[in-house]
């Protein structure tokens, strides 16, 4: 077991936003958290990364509780996070954006190895090394933000909305990047609101609706379940 959420409850502004969420991600898996806008995907990620306190429940990484820990400690344990909206540092070059995590988190590998692995996922980024973060398209910013999280050398990457707002032309590049990340032996938890963007190579998916997990299974099992399809196609 790598990551496990056990009966996680979160209250925001007096409202229960996550309700008894339980889920698990095994090493090297691609698991999708699917739900409409406002269903609770980003809150789930923020809770895992220590930005959002829980009302009750536990979040465990390799069987030890991480809820209540500071975000930088959670990152040190091997979790990486690419938030929705690709917050690339506009004043830094692509090269510096991607090198940054190697200065802030130590891992067993050299900085150069980690940077090389990040560029191996999106080789196109090598063309923009010296370009500023502000001079990139939405798709390029998304690639930089994913590459930057990879330079942390995480065992599990939390990727919030990898495809949202991107032009259809760039979607295959991001999808191929996801496959490369998995080939590097990393696990990925991907939040997605659009059923049509779900990677066919996902191992499992969870469907979240109004803060509750309403389905767990494979893509094929979801497709065979009319009630689940109604929720996620309406997403």
Footprint of ligand ATP (CB under 6 A): 12-13, 17, 35, 37-43, 84, 193
Q: Least distance from C-beta 202 to ligand ATP, angstroms?
A: 18
Instruction: Lay out the sheet containing 187-192: strands in order across.
Output: 79-82, 156-160, 187-192, 30-34, 204-209, 212-217
C-beta separation of 174 from 208 below 8 A:
no
Instruction: Output 131 or 210, the one with its CB closest to ligand ATP.
Output: 210
Instruction: Output 2 or 42, the one with its CB closest to ligand ATP.
Output: 42
Q: Least distance from C-beta 180 to ligand ATP, angstroms?
A: 25
Residue listed under structure tokens 């299974």: 217
Q: Least distance from C-beta 188 to ligand ATP, angstroms?
A: 17
Instruction: Output 37 or 218, the one with its CB closest to ligand ATP.
Output: 37
Instruction: Output 180 or 194, the one with its CB closest to ligand ATP.
Output: 194
Cα(175)–Cα(119) distance, rounded to whole angstroms? 15
Q: Least distance from C-beta 45 to ligand ATP, angstroms?
A: 8
Cα(66)–Cα(68) distance, rounded to whole angstroms? 6
Structure tokens belonging to residue 202: 């996902």
Q: Least distance from C-beta 40 to ligand ATP, angstroms?
A: 4
Instruction: Output 12 or 65, the one with its CB closest to ligand ATP.
Output: 12
Left, alpha or beta for 6 (phi > 0: left; psi -120 to 50: alpha)? beta
Any idea what DSSP says for residue 170? G
Find the Cα–Cα–Cα–Cα dihedral 150, 152, 158, 164, rounded to 10°: -50
């Amino acid at each position: 077991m790598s990551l496990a959420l056990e009966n996680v409850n979160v209250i925001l502004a007096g409202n229960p936003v996550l309700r008894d969420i339980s889920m698990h991600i095994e090493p090297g898996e691609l698991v999708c958290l699917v739900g409409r806008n406002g269903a609770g995907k980003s809150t789930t990620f923020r809770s895992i990364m220590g930005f959002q306190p829980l009302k009750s429940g536990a979040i465990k990484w390799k069987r030890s509780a991480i809820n209540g820990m500071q975000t930088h400690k959670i990152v040190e344990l091997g979790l990486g996070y690419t938030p929705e909206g690709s917050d690339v540092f506009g004043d830094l070059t692509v090269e510096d954006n991607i090198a940054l995590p190697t200065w802030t988190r130590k891992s067993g590998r050299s900085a150069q190895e980690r940077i090389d692995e990040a560029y191996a996922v999106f080789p196109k980024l090598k063309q923009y090394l010296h370009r500023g973060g502000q001079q990139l398209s939405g798709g390029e910013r998304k690639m930089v933000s994913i590459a930057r999280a990879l330079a942390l050398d995480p065992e599990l990457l939390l990727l919030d909305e990898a495809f949202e707002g991107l032009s259809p032309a760039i979607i295959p590049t991001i999808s191929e990047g996801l496959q490369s990340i998995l080939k590097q032996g990393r696990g990925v938890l991907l939040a997605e609101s659009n059923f049509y963007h779900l990677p066919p190579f996902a191992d499992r998916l969870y469907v979240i609706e109004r803060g509750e997990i309403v389905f767990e299974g494979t893509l094929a099992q979801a497709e065979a379940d009319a009630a689940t399809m109604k929720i996620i196609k309406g997403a």
